[in-house]
Structure 1
């Protein structure tokens, strides 16, 4: 048995205490989000536990403990002299403002599925049969939409679409767009609001998500230029000027087959827009905080989802540009480039 260096062991245990605290605090973020605590504190006004409890219709003693834990984590501020708590502008942006590109409460909700569905994932590890997206807990579907939507709001119309050659002009004039793997329709709605002359069809194999997307489009006032259908990535119908895949190609069991189908449904001068999690092409370059998050999500969600389908290629959320280029080329595309990127996403453009 290896004998640890005591100083290195102490340092590693200190890291473990921090990581364990982060995991424990994550559950409290979900709790506070659900109970409306962050929204009630969004103004930045200082308030006692009793005041927050009154505003949210909750029990003061429980609220006091939640606030103390959040203050210890640095997620809320604490005024010792007044024994009161508050959100500063940065904390409010992250936890209370759902329209902010920095909003993170949805991510914590999505990550709840890691714990809830761990027994299912463990069985998938044993059998190799994978775990389909629809077999996860509902918090994953809600949290994923809430996590990705702020990024779409911030980047999709302002920078991602303009980075594609000639696409914005087509959308302004009136184009046909397929949003494949649309989930709850957040990306579809953002595009439909920005380009009312174009028509956007969202496709997803998950019927419950399509129902939610239809409601989201109606609520946003874009029902007239959107439609949503239950369909697979390899069988969706139609012919399009733009086909978009947002953070879903790597989840597919047969991404090469999906690529070939996009090629068939794309007009000769059309564009395939592929948004994928940011990743370098070698594991060693992804050993960083973003890679840590994405590899965890890939372990619990993305790779098992792919393995549960036909072929089951299992690209994973950190596939990288080289592997994605191979998938796209195998589908019959001859032009491929990285059009834009953020710390969390790569925006790839493919053309026939």
Structure 2
């Protein structure tokens, strides 16, 4: 009986820590969306009244958020005094994690992404009952932007070195005039990184999500690579045949309702012998209870975002975020690829890279759906 009580107490403590983590996540979401963190980072310490004036928010809510952030340890009290005179500051390390969109430590977008699931919970629960789904489009801009901004630093800072470490891929990309296909390009950060890293390339990004494609075009213009990055709202069935020298699918295969059909269409779009590089989650080879933090995180993404998105367009393979290597191999072979190789790219965030190869032009394109809000 005492052992049972001890076990129950441990479970209760774990749930309480999860509640506290949820409060932190939602308060981070608020600080991110309302501009409170960025004001403290860019304009310096502030009282509640000053922060509210800077950000066009209400001082009483600003005060409550500032105090909560100090109690939870994310802000420091720069000057003691009355509630109205108390001044709060954002430490540099916290500012990097929550405001620096170029840092590999930037995690505020994930609060944005999970925060976006709140309004969708009734629809998610209905989907769990009926087998339906909730698409990225239904989750809205917070989810779309959160995913894109969370991945952006990795493409900007690490993708070039990662690909340079795979000689056979790097050699293709360094060929003048090479045509790259970026399937499920989302907000275009992967396409832009490829264009910046390999100046002789032409990148074609395709996605089914029109808002993401519009964002990708703006991002390419701002980055100065719009002349070499073209983005289109395109179904996989509309890919041109045999025109690409290499293709990439960054963190999107697990979202596809019909991955075999999309992979077959990509295969057809590649010239004979050209590879497809897939980046997807570096989950364990097989399911086991008591998984590590990565498995826990990926099941969270799957339950609330990726699996419902994939299920929103029936008939669906229902893959989900936790796409294990064997599952990708099955999809690839069914699509006509003849080999799947794990590439020697390590220490790249949450992800693993694969190379898919085939010996011929492959089957004709079949209507598919490819999207990743990257």
Tell me the TM-score normalized by structure 1: 0.91
5+ residue gaps, structure 2? 359-374
Are residues 1:11 and 2:15 paired? no
Query: Quick check: 1:70–1:76 contact (8 Å CA) kept in 2?
Result: yes
- Partners of 1:27 and 1:112 within 8 A in 2: yes
Question: Number of paired residues?
Answer: 350
Q: Is the CA contact (8 Å cut-off) linking 1:328 and 1:350 kept in structure 2?
A: yes
CA distance in 2, matches of 1:264, 1:141: 29
Secondary structure at the residue paired with 2:26? helix
Q: Give the C-alpha shift of residue 57 in structure 1.
A: 4.1
Equivalent in the alignment of 2:264: 260
Q: How far apart are the structure 2 equivalents of 1:165 and 1:266? A: 19
SS at match of 1:203: strand
Deviations 1:89-133 (A, max 9, x none): 321111010110111111111112221111111121222132333
- How far apart are the structure 2 equivalents of 1:300 and 1:58? 30
1:236 aligns with 2:236: no
| Counterpart residue number, 2:71 | 72
Q: What stretches of structure 1 of length at least 5 have no aligned partner? A: none
In the alignment, the residues of structure 1 paired with residue 43 and residue 329 of structure 2 have an alpha-carbon distance, to the nearest angstrom, of: 47
- Alpha-carbon separation, structure 1, partners of 2:315 and 2:47: 56
Q: Does the residue aligned with 1:23 lie in a helix, a strand or coil?
A: helix
Return 128-137 or 50-59, whichever deviates more: 50-59
- Quote the residue 1:318 is aligned against: 322
Residue 192 (structure 1) aligned with residue 195 (structure 2):
yes
1:215-238 residue CA offsets vs partner (Å, 9 max, x unmatched) = 221122111001111112344224
Q: CA RMSD in A?
A: 2.4
String of CA shifts for 1:139-171, please: whole Å, max 9, x gaps.
Answer: 111111111112212221121x22434332333
Match of 2:252 in 1: 248
SS of equivalent to 1:317: coil
TM-score (norm 2): 0.86
2:372 corresponds in structure 1 to none
1:304 is displaced (CA, Å) by 2.0
Distance 1:220 1:258 in 2: 29
Q: Decide whether aligned partners of structure 1 residues 284 and 165 sit closer, same or farther in structure 2, where only a CA change above 3 A counts.
A: same
Residue 306 (structure 1) shift: 2.0
Number of the residue aligned with 1:62: 61
Shift in alpha-carbon separation, 1:78–1:321, aligned structure 2, 3 A: farther
Change (3 A) 1:294 1:280: same
For 2:15 and 2:79, the matched residues in 1 are separated by 29
Given the alignment, which residue of 255, 269, 273 partners 2:273? 269
Report what 1:41 is aligned to: 40
Once structures 1 and 2 are overlaid, which stretch shifts more, 89-98 or 9-18?
A: 9-18
The structure with higher relative contact order (CA 8 Å, sep 6+) is: 2
